[in-house]
Amino acid sequence: MTQTPNFTRTDSAVRIVSLYPDLLGTYGDGGNALVLSRRLEWRGIAVEHITVDAGAPIPDSADLYLVGGGEDGPQVQATRELDRSQGLHRAVDKGAVVLAICAGMQILGHRFPDATGATRDGLGLLDCETVRVDRPRAVGELLTTDAKLTTRHGLVELGPLTGFENHAGRTVPGPTSLSLASVEVGEGNGDGSEGVITGTVVGTYLHGPALARNPRLADALLEWIVGPNAMTPLNDTDVNELRSERIHAARDHELAPRRSWRDVLKRS
Ligand code: GLN
């Protein structure tokens, strides 16, 4: 019988749930939970992190839920399970923050295409729709202009977001949603914007994992929960060096796989 995952502490720890890492865990998206947990611990804030596999009940008492990317088949299965559970819906109703990556974002929207191209209903927690387009799969570095996120404490400036993308679908943000930023390099949503925000639910095409490559995004999500006064500054010198390396590489297309494949083909 499936064990009911739940929190064990009763104090004021920040509660984080990684949803369905057994179905949605491509490209190291599980690292996002690690980044959030460490950034809380470094500030002396208690954290409790649990993972919930598909089929298990989803506790609706967490502060933050993480949904990762995945392939087309598991994506459909995850949608079915999330819909059946309704735990994530209840948590969002109560104000929980959600970060959904790639397939996760598509699932949380109104509709998305399955592996056959047929349209499937999503969960409707993000105001967007994902469609199949007559364009190649978006694979490569993804870099945005300066991103912004408005939490219940106000506007947070995130600087450029960096990561990589690998998706066939393109996402059309709906009228009640905001995007995180515009795309500078790569594809993002497909209309020049990147990411979808509806209320406390944030979706992005950024893998990396996204929060390791964009600690200001991690902190903005945490600030939403613990408030700005608890957000002691951390020393991000090392990660900022890596970020500028990646940002330059993306701008110079040094890391864009399509270009290097083209170069290889030209030479052979
Ligand atoms: N299966 C989806 C697509 O290809 C999402 C892929 C992903 O999560 N990386 O569009």
Which of 66-70, 111-115, 147-151, 253-257 shows the lowest per-residue confidence on average (mean pLDDT)? 253-257
Angle between helices 31-41 and 215-226 (to 10 degrees): 60
Instruction: Please give the distance of CA 88 from its chain centroid, rounded to a whole number.
Output: 15
Q: Tokens 């998206």, residue? A: 29
Pairing of strands 64-67, 97-101: parallel
Q: Tokens 């598909």, residue? A: 54
Q: Strand, helix or coil at 27? A: helix
Model confidence band, residue 3 (pLDDT cutoffs 50, 70, 90): low
Which residue ranges make up each domain of the chain?
14-267
Which among 27, 76, 102 is the best mutation to test ligand 1's pocket, defined by most ligand atoms within 8 Å of the CB?
102
**Nearest C-alpha to atom 3 of ligand 1 is from which residue?**
167
Q: 0.85 cut: is pTM over it?
A: yes
Instruction: Please give the distance of CA 124 from its chain centroid, rounded to a whole number.
Output: 16
pLDDT one-digit tens code per residue, 221-266: 999 999 999 999 999 999 999 999 999 999 987 655 444 444 444 4
Question: What CA–CA distances, in Å, run from 265 to 15, 171, 250, 251, 258?
Answer: 49, 31, 21, 22, 11
- Atom number, ligand 1, closest to the C-alpha of residue 101: 8
| Inter-residue contact 49 to 18 (CB < 8 Å) | yes
pLDDT one-digit tens code per residue, 172-221: 999 999 999 999 999 999 999 999 999 999 999 999 999 999 999 999 99
Query: What is the homologous superfamily of the domain 14-267 according to CATH?
Result: Class I glutamine amidotransferase (GATase) domain (3.40.50.880)
CA distance linking residue 21 with residue 212, whole number of Å: 18
Question: What CA–CA distances, in Å, run from 84 to 22, 77, 166?
Answer: 17, 11, 28
Q: Strand, helix or coil at 239? A: helix
Q: How far, in Å, is the centroid of ligand 1 from the Cα of 167? A: 4
Which among 19, 72, 172 is the best mutation to test ligand 1's pocket, defined by most ligand atoms within 8 Å of the CB?
72
Ligand 1: residues with CB < 6 A are: 26, 69-72, 75, 102-103, 106, 166-169
Q: Strand, helix or coil at 26? A: helix
In the predicted structure, residue 1 carries a pLDDT above the cut 50 = no
- Atom number, ligand 1, closest to the C-alpha of residue 104: 8
Q: What is the pLDDT of residue 7?
A: 86
- State the SS3 of 147-185: EEEEECCEEEEEEEEEEEEEECCEEEECCCCECCEEEEE
Q: Please give the backbone phi and psi of residue 49, each rounded to the nearest 5 degrees, phi first.
A: -120, 130
Q: What is the pLDDT of residue 2?
A: 55
Residues whose CB falls within 8 Å of the CB of residue 263, separated by 6 or more in sequence, listed in order: none
Of 216, 195, 205, give the one whose Cα is nearest residue 126.
195
Q: Where are the alpha helices (DSSP H) in the chain?
A: 31-41, 72-85, 87-93, 103-108, 210-213, 215-226, 237-251, 257-267
pLDDT one-digit tens code per residue, 19-45: 999 999 889 999 999 999 999 999 999
Question: What CA–CA distances, in Å, run from 75 to 100, 169, 236, 267?
Answer: 12, 12, 34, 38
